[in-house]
Amino acid sequence: RWRHSCLRLDVYLRAQRLLHFQRVIALLATPMQADELRSALAEPMLGLLEADFYASYVWDEAACRFARGVALNVDPVHGERYEAQYQFDDPLTPRLLARRTPTRATDVLPQRELLSTGFFNDFLRPDGLHWGVNAYAHDGGRHLGDLRIWRRRTRPNFDADDLAILRLVYPAFVQALSRCADSAASASLPTRE
Protein backbone atom coordinates (compact mmCIF):
# COMPACT_ATOMS: atom_id res chain seq x y z
CA ARG A 1 0.00 0.00 0.00
CA TRP A 2 2.81 2.47 0.88
CA ARG A 3 4.55 1.79 -2.44
CA HIS A 4 1.30 2.48 -4.33
CA SER A 5 0.85 5.79 -2.45
CA CYS A 6 4.38 6.88 -3.35
CA LEU A 7 3.79 6.09 -7.00
CA ARG A 8 0.58 8.14 -6.99
CA LEU A 9 2.35 11.02 -5.24
CA ASP A 10 4.93 11.00 -8.02
CA VAL A 11 2.15 11.30 -10.58
CA TYR A 12 0.62 14.27 -8.77
CA LEU A 13 3.75 16.25 -8.04
CA ARG A 14 5.89 17.50 -10.88
CA ALA A 15 9.28 18.92 -9.90
CA GLN A 16 8.09 22.52 -9.48
CA ARG A 17 5.11 21.50 -7.40
CA LEU A 18 7.32 19.27 -5.28
CA LEU A 19 9.38 22.30 -4.23
CA HIS A 20 6.22 24.10 -3.11
CA PHE A 21 5.03 20.95 -1.33
CA GLN A 22 8.31 20.79 0.60
CA ARG A 23 7.98 24.47 1.59
CA VAL A 24 4.41 23.94 2.79
CA ILE A 25 5.37 20.92 4.90
CA ALA A 26 8.38 22.76 6.35
CA LEU A 27 6.19 25.73 7.31
CA LEU A 28 3.59 23.47 8.91
CA ALA A 29 6.32 21.92 11.05
CA THR A 30 7.77 25.29 12.13
CA PRO A 31 6.51 26.79 15.40
CA MET A 32 4.91 30.19 14.81
CA GLN A 33 1.75 32.13 15.54
CA ALA A 34 -1.38 31.06 13.63
CA ASP A 35 -1.79 34.32 11.70
CA GLU A 36 1.89 34.27 10.76
CA LEU A 37 1.56 30.67 9.57
CA ARG A 38 -1.55 31.35 7.50
CA SER A 39 0.24 34.28 5.88
CA ALA A 40 3.48 32.35 5.27
CA LEU A 41 1.55 29.55 3.54
CA ALA A 42 0.16 31.88 0.85
CA GLU A 43 2.95 31.76 -1.73
CA PRO A 44 3.82 28.05 -1.51
CA MET A 45 0.14 27.04 -1.48
CA LEU A 46 -0.48 29.06 -4.65
CA GLY A 47 2.53 27.39 -6.26
CA LEU A 48 1.51 23.94 -5.08
CA LEU A 49 -2.00 24.28 -6.50
CA GLU A 50 -0.96 26.38 -9.52
CA ALA A 51 -3.42 29.05 -8.45
CA ASP A 52 -3.61 32.84 -8.51
CA PHE A 53 -5.31 34.12 -5.34
CA TYR A 54 -5.05 33.20 -1.67
CA ALA A 55 -7.04 34.26 1.37
CA SER A 56 -7.38 32.83 4.85
CA TYR A 57 -9.66 33.75 7.73
CA VAL A 58 -10.50 32.62 11.24
CA TRP A 59 -14.05 32.39 12.58
CA ASP A 60 -14.57 34.80 15.48
CA GLU A 61 -17.15 33.00 17.60
CA ALA A 62 -17.93 36.02 19.80
CA ALA A 63 -18.58 38.33 16.84
CA CYS A 64 -20.15 35.62 14.62
CA ARG A 65 -17.98 36.53 11.66
CA PHE A 66 -14.80 35.67 9.79
CA ALA A 67 -11.92 37.95 10.76
CA ARG A 68 -8.11 38.26 10.85
CA GLY A 69 -7.90 37.82 7.10
CA VAL A 70 -4.58 37.37 5.33
CA ALA A 71 -4.23 37.32 1.55
CA LEU A 72 -1.88 37.22 -1.41
CA ASN A 73 -2.58 38.66 -4.87
CA VAL A 74 -5.85 40.10 -3.63
CA ASP A 75 -6.42 43.84 -3.33
CA PRO A 76 -6.68 44.72 0.39
CA VAL A 77 -9.99 46.44 -0.38
CA HIS A 78 -11.30 43.05 -1.54
CA GLY A 79 -10.63 41.58 1.90
CA GLU A 80 -12.13 44.57 3.64
CA ARG A 81 -15.27 44.24 1.52
CA TYR A 82 -15.51 40.56 2.40
CA GLU A 83 -15.16 41.18 6.12
CA ALA A 84 -17.58 44.13 6.14
CA GLN A 85 -20.27 42.92 3.73
CA TYR A 86 -19.85 39.91 1.48
CA GLN A 87 -19.31 37.24 4.14
CA PHE A 88 -22.93 37.84 5.10
CA ASP A 89 -24.13 37.25 1.51
CA ASP A 90 -21.82 34.35 0.64
CA PRO A 91 -23.53 31.35 -0.98
CA LEU A 92 -20.33 29.26 -0.94
CA THR A 93 -18.71 29.40 2.49
CA PRO A 94 -21.52 27.83 4.58
CA ARG A 95 -21.71 24.90 2.13
CA LEU A 96 -17.92 24.49 1.93
CA LEU A 97 -17.55 24.83 5.70
CA ALA A 98 -20.05 22.02 6.26
CA ARG A 99 -17.88 19.62 4.22
CA ARG A 100 -14.97 19.62 6.73
CA THR A 101 -12.63 18.50 3.93
CA PRO A 102 -10.93 20.36 1.05
CA THR A 103 -13.67 21.01 -1.51
CA ARG A 104 -14.01 22.82 -4.82
CA ALA A 105 -16.60 25.59 -5.01
CA THR A 106 -18.20 23.79 -7.97
CA ASP A 107 -18.77 20.72 -5.78
CA VAL A 108 -21.24 22.66 -3.61
CA LEU A 109 -22.64 25.11 -6.16
CA PRO A 110 -22.55 24.55 -9.92
CA GLN A 111 -20.50 27.23 -11.69
CA ARG A 112 -23.46 28.39 -13.80
CA GLU A 113 -25.46 29.04 -10.59
CA LEU A 114 -22.53 30.82 -8.94
CA LEU A 115 -22.13 33.04 -12.03
CA SER A 116 -25.69 34.30 -11.57
CA THR A 117 -25.17 35.47 -7.96
CA GLY A 118 -24.40 38.97 -6.75
CA PHE A 119 -21.61 37.45 -4.68
CA PHE A 120 -19.85 36.39 -7.87
CA ASN A 121 -20.68 39.40 -10.05
CA ASP A 122 -20.14 42.09 -7.44
CA PHE A 123 -17.38 40.52 -5.37
CA LEU A 124 -15.44 37.67 -6.99
CA ARG A 125 -15.49 38.55 -10.70
CA PRO A 126 -14.24 42.18 -10.43
CA ASP A 127 -11.05 40.90 -8.77
CA GLY A 128 -10.60 38.01 -11.20
CA LEU A 129 -11.54 35.10 -8.92
CA HIS A 130 -13.33 32.40 -10.92
CA TRP A 131 -12.50 28.82 -9.77
CA GLY A 132 -12.15 28.12 -6.06
CA VAL A 133 -11.13 25.44 -3.61
CA ASN A 134 -11.40 25.86 0.15
CA ALA A 135 -10.30 23.94 3.22
CA TYR A 136 -11.54 24.72 6.74
CA ALA A 137 -9.50 23.49 9.69
CA HIS A 138 -11.41 22.36 12.78
CA ASP A 139 -10.31 20.89 16.06
CA GLY A 140 -13.54 19.38 17.27
CA GLY A 141 -16.05 22.22 17.13
CA ARG A 142 -13.41 24.96 17.12
CA HIS A 143 -12.65 26.66 13.78
CA LEU A 144 -8.89 27.20 13.57
CA GLY A 145 -8.53 28.89 10.19
CA ASP A 146 -9.00 28.18 6.53
CA LEU A 147 -7.45 28.20 3.07
CA ARG A 148 -9.35 29.88 0.24
CA ILE A 149 -7.52 29.40 -3.02
CA TRP A 150 -8.75 30.68 -6.36
CA ARG A 151 -7.78 30.65 -10.03
CA ARG A 152 -8.49 33.10 -12.82
CA ARG A 153 -11.09 32.35 -15.46
CA THR A 154 -8.35 31.65 -18.01
CA ARG A 155 -7.15 28.64 -16.03
CA PRO A 156 -9.00 25.34 -15.65
CA ASN A 157 -11.04 24.47 -12.60
CA PHE A 158 -9.24 22.53 -9.86
CA ASP A 159 -9.25 18.84 -10.72
CA ALA A 160 -9.09 15.58 -8.77
CA ASP A 161 -5.28 15.70 -8.66
CA ASP A 162 -5.37 19.21 -7.16
CA LEU A 163 -7.82 18.02 -4.52
CA ALA A 164 -5.63 14.99 -3.76
CA ILE A 165 -2.63 17.26 -3.20
CA LEU A 166 -4.61 19.58 -0.93
CA ARG A 167 -5.91 16.58 0.99
CA LEU A 168 -2.31 15.44 1.55
CA VAL A 169 -1.49 18.80 3.15
CA TYR A 170 -4.77 19.25 5.02
CA PRO A 171 -4.14 17.03 8.11
CA ALA A 172 -0.79 18.76 8.75
CA PHE A 173 -2.50 22.15 8.30
CA VAL A 174 -5.13 21.25 10.91
CA GLN A 175 -2.47 19.91 13.31
CA ALA A 176 -0.29 23.02 12.91
CA LEU A 177 -3.17 25.42 13.57
CA SER A 178 -4.29 23.30 16.52
CA ARG A 179 -0.78 23.51 18.02
CA CYS A 180 -0.83 27.29 17.48
CA ALA A 181 -4.22 27.60 19.20
CA ASP A 182 -3.17 25.38 22.10
CA SER A 183 0.08 27.32 22.49
CA ALA A 184 -1.76 30.66 22.48
CA ALA A 185 -4.29 29.35 25.02
CA SER A 186 -1.62 28.07 27.39
CA ALA A 187 0.35 31.33 27.06
CA SER A 188 -2.72 33.30 28.16
CA LEU A 189 -3.33 31.19 31.29
CA PRO A 190 -2.30 32.79 34.56
CA THR A 191 0.86 31.33 36.03
CA ARG A 192 1.10 30.05 39.59
CA GLU A 193 3.63 31.65 41.84
Across the 193 residues of the chain, what is the mean pLDDT of every consecutive 10-residue run? 47 75 96 95 97 96 94 94 95 93 97 97 96 94 93 97 94 94 56 52
Residue 186 has a pLDDT of: 47
Q: What share of the chain is helix, strand, coil (3-state, %, to 5)?
A: 55, 20, 25
Residue 181 has a pLDDT of: 75
Looking at residue 61, what DSSP letter applies?
T
User: Considering only CA atoms, which of 89, 13, 100 is closest in space to residue 48?
Assistant: 13
Residue 18, CA distances (Å) to 7, 24, 47, 159 in order: 14, 10, 9, 17
Residue 83 has a pLDDT of: 94
Residue 182 has a pLDDT of: 65
Residue 142 has a pLDDT of: 85
